[in-house]
Structure 1
Amino acid sequence: MNDEMKTRTVLLDSLSDAATRVFTTILTRSPISRIDVARLTGLSQGAVTRAVAPLAAAGLVNDSLDPTLTGLPGRPVSPVAVVAEAVVALGVKVNADELIGVATDVTTRTILSDRLPLTSHDPAAVIDAIVTICSRLQGRLGALGSRLACIGVAVSGDVDMTSGVVRDSALMNWRSVDLGAALAERLDQRIVVENDVRALTIGEHWFGVGLGTSSFAIVTIGRGIGSGLHLNGEVVEGAYGVAGEIGHLPLTSPDRICACGRRGCVEAVAATSAIVAVVSEAHGRSVSIDEAVELGRRGDPAAVAAFAEAGQVIGAAIASLVNLVGPELVIIGGEGVANFDLLETSLRRSYAEHVFASADRCRIVVRPHTFEDWARGAAATAIRSLVV
């Protein structure tokens, strides 16, 4: 990190609460007039001007925009915009079989991406692989590599973002892996390790559907069933780093054993592995998820029943979530949305049966997320750590 980047990161670390609100408003809504920054933050225009001055001096925002070129409606007064490539971040999504990495600017626009197969879940091997993909990304950035300020890593499971410890990840079969410290030693960067669904939620909060929405939830379906919560303008992290784990609500038969070792979890019926296991047993041979989907779409009774049961349990889990916290919107994402046609009818029926009273005004929408989107969420988590 060069002196210019050190100055920028030190400045971001030292921002007052008011200046943080100003910068994050500009960051997520750029370009924007100072009048609108003042309105959205509740600060005076004088306070906004004082907050903008050091940010502009450090090259983080541009306060000399031509109002006619900003695309803002009307005649904006003193528009400001974030300088997108003033800060670069890396984001890495850890999957069971591969790493997906992205380099982004400070708005999480993807500059470039990379993938690296994982041949082992041994923590040392995964750490080596993360270091490799980060080094490859930084090398490909060229001159922008000097602006790298932070790296975010997203992992499935119980993750303590403060310490960087992965306390429990059934997907990786990890317990108490100090991933953050190990990566900080190897990469010499600010490292943020976060639960993958919560990282995706942070990305949507700042740069996606959550912008301007006071409360929403993301429910991800696929290898696991996860949820991220954004309530009253903030992403819910939980007192102990666990929140929104709807995949482990006990909503099905105790005869069904989850990968986490507990009984009756939503994932024991609705995760990809659970669907595959049921269809495989019915056919007396090993069936892949792609074949299970094909069978379901051809009307195979076992596959149709397996997907319908998964949809029913997921619908009940979403209703439980909505009844508890009352979001405006639930976004269903994850790799499993490619098969959503097989789940949708039973999911929406179950949701309607279990959601309570006016909570049924909550909208449910499907939004596919690529694994690059998950990696961008990891980058957003790291960027957020610079200023919040």
Structure 2
Amino acid sequence: MSRLAASWVPLSAAERAVAIEVLTHGPISRAEIARKLNLSAGSLTRLTKPLIESGLLVEDPAAHTSQSQAQSQSPAQEAAIRQGRPSQPLDIVADSRYFAGFKITAEAVYGVVTTLKSDIVLRRTRLLTTREPEDVADLVHDLTEEFALAFPRLAGIGVGVGGHVRGRAVVVESPFLNWQGVPFAELLEERTGLPVVVENDVAALVEAEAWFGAGRGLDRFAVLTIGAGIGYGLVIGSNLVRSAEDGHGIGRRWILNPNGPLTPDGERGSAIALLSIPSIRYQVQAATGREVTYDEILTLAAAGDPVAARVVDEAARGLGTLVAQIANFAMPQKILLAGEGVGIVDVAATAVQESILANRHPLADPVVLETKVSDFNDWARGAAVLAIQVLVLGRDQG
């Protein structure tokens, strides 16, 4: 693939701050940007000029400053901003560049194309016949070729995998793919000619939700994912908190009930043993002797099947304990439950809430809990958002 990424000039720290403000809150007036970033009219004009000239930002004459924005400015501030530049709000040119995002599971590759505002404009799925890194890179390359034909301004690629990733380039370990030390960004860049960002899939999803989803505008925001494994991410001050444990599967050692179930993966009563889809399926199969899907287990539990109801109730109470622990120690303004396994909340909402209350101080504020059944396209979108953050906005490589 000989196509090169749409060019952009690296942004300074101040330009990046302006671009992020417009990307996550636009259309937005210059007065509001100046207030939030504590900039003078002249400084804001100097910073926005190259962003407009590069095609990243645009003056939006159709948008109008909201009443709340107008009320936040004093007459002197509004006059100063008007003297600096015209009063049209600024917005991101969403279709100036497109990004490919991929989520790689043990069974398939899920790919999407997004605009600069992370809106998905194309989706594709390809089943894996092998998990060999070279073969997976070939498959992702083929999808990228298809994407680039439909969207010639494809500017970069983001890839999310379950596991530990170093430098947003090397998959140090992925138990789902059985990869160790795979330089996947390099493999994909060699094939596509596009810049590539590789990241832990939970981290990518958290970034996307913090910028464009449930956590938008919040200072403290947590995400808990339930699916093949258990994922957790915390955002403080608009930044994802990183640690050496990222991608190493802390759910196996996050003990929720020391008398809980023991499964092939995870310590007794751990978050993995109680909540992950494979573990829930394992518990029901061990008790009944037959293999059932996760959706079937939830349906059986809702209908009062004794085995399914017991397993789901125990999992729901473990989930409530986990949510309460996050609320107690991280004190987020909101917790998002995401992933393909959050259907358990619909079936056993009462057990979840009872467990949350049992593990919180009686005078504590209610936990703001939002659920989102995320399909793998949402995870792929998260990877595309990471690419936007790193490749366009020049955020720290992590």
TM-score, reference length from structure 2 = 0.87
Q: Does the alignment pair 1:73 with 2:38? A: no
Per the TM alignment, residue 345 of structure 1 is displaced from its structure 2 partner at its CA by 2.2
For the pair 1:19 / 2:12, whether they are aligned, the reply is no
Q: Does 1:353 align with 2:358?
A: yes
2:171 to 151, 166, 171: 166
Matched to 1:127, the amino acid is: A
Aligned partners of 1:18, 1:308: CA distance in 2, in Å? 50
Q: What pairs up with 1:254-293 in 2 under 5 angstroms?
A: 256=261, 264-293=269-298
1:93 pairs with 2:103: yes
Deviations 1:202-226 (A, max 9, x none): 1111112222111111111122221
Structure 2 Cα separation of the partners of residues 208 and 169 of structure 1: 27
Query: Which of 114, 130, 153 is residue 124 of structure 2 equivalent to?
Result: 114
Question: Which deviates more, 43-52 or 254-263?
Answer: 254-263
Q: For the structure 1 residues 343 and 325, does the alpha-carbon distance in structure 2 shift closer, same or farther, using more than 3 Å as the test?
A: same
Structure 2 unaligned spans of 5+: 71-77, 79-86
> In the aligned structure 1, how far is the partner of 2:160 from the partner of 2:292?
29
Distance (whole Å) between structure 1 residues aligned to residue 253 and residue 237 of structure 2: 24
The alignment partner of 1:327 has SS state of coil
Contact 2:260–2:274 (CA<8 Å) still a contact in 1? no
Amino acid at match of 1:88: Y
CA gap 1:329/1:4 in 2 versus in 1, 3 angstroms: closer
Deviation at 1:85, TM superposition (A): 1.1
Q: Structure 1: which 5+ runs fail to align? A: none
**CA-CA distance at 1:252 after TM superposition:** 3.5
Cα distance, 1:240–1:278 mapped onto 2, change above 3 Å: closer
Rounded to whole Å, the distance in 1 between the matches of 2:218 and 2:182 is 35
Aligned with residue 331 of structure 2, among 326, 332, 338: 326
Counterpart contact for 2:162–2:247, Cα < 8 Å:
no
Distance 1:259 1:87 in 2: 45
Structure 1 residue corresponding to 2:26, chosen from 17, 25, 30: 30
Greater mean alpha carbon deviation, residues 266-275 or residues 349-358: 349-358
Opposite residue 176 of structure 2, the aligned amino acid is L
Rounded to whole Å, the distance in 1 between the matches of 2:45 and 2:28 is: 13
Structure 2 residue aligned with 1:52: 48
Distance 1:170 1:213, change over 3 A: same
1:201 Cα offset (Å): 1.0
> Cα–Cα, structure 1 residues 370 and 243, in superposed 2: closer, same or farther, change >3 Å?
same
Letter aligned with residue 325 of structure 1: A
Which residue matches 1:148? 154
Q: Residues of 1 paired with 2:284 and 2:347: CA distance?
A: 14
Equivalent residue letter for 1:179:
F
Query: For residues 285-328 of structure 1, what are the alpha-carbon distances to aligned partners after superposition, in whole Å with 9 as ceiling and x for unaligned?
Result: 22222322222122111100111111122222222222221101
- Deviation at residue 169 of structure 1 after TM alignment: 2.2
SS in 1 for 2:369: strand
Is residue 147 of structure 2 the alignment partner of residue 137 of structure 1? yes
One-letter identity of the residue aligned with 1:135: E
Equivalent position SS for 1:237: coil
Count of aligned pairs: 375
TM-superposed CA distance for 1:258, in Å, is 5.7
| 8 Å CA contact 2:111, 2:143 repeated in 1 | yes
2-side partners of 1:102 and 1:271: how far apart? Answer: 26
> Which residue identity does 2:129 align to in structure 1?
T
| Contact kept? 1:102, 1:114, Cα under 8 Å | yes
Structure 1 residue 248: Cα displacement: 4.0
CA contact (8 A) 1:333 1:369 kept: yes
Distance 1:240 1:222 in 2: 19
User: Which position in structure 1 is the counterpart of 2:81?
Assistant: none
Deviation at 1:139, TM superposition (A): 2.1
Partner Cα distance (2:308, 2:4) in 1: 59
Q: Is the 8 A contact 1:170 1:260 kept in 2?
A: no
One-letter code aligned to 2:350: T
Deviation at residue 37 of structure 1 after TM alignment: 0.8
**% identity of equivalent residues:** 33
Equivalent residue number for residue 84 of structure 2:
none
Superposition CA RMSD, Å: 2.4
Please report how far the alpha carbon of residue 121 of structure 1 lies from its aligned counterpart in structure 2 after TM superposition.
2.6
Shift in alpha-carbon separation, 1:275–1:151, aligned structure 2, 3 A? same
Closer, same or farther: CA 356–234 of 1 in aligned 2, 3 Å? farther
Contact 1:22 1:51 in 2 (8 A): yes
Aligned with residue 229 of structure 1, among 214, 234, 248? 234
Secondary structure of residue in 1 paired with 2:348: helix
Q: Return 75-84 or 242-251, whichever deviates more.
A: 242-251
Paired residue for 2:163, among 130, 154, 157?
Answer: 157
Q: CA 1:124–1:255 in structure 2 vs 1: closer, same or farther (change >3 Å)?
A: farther
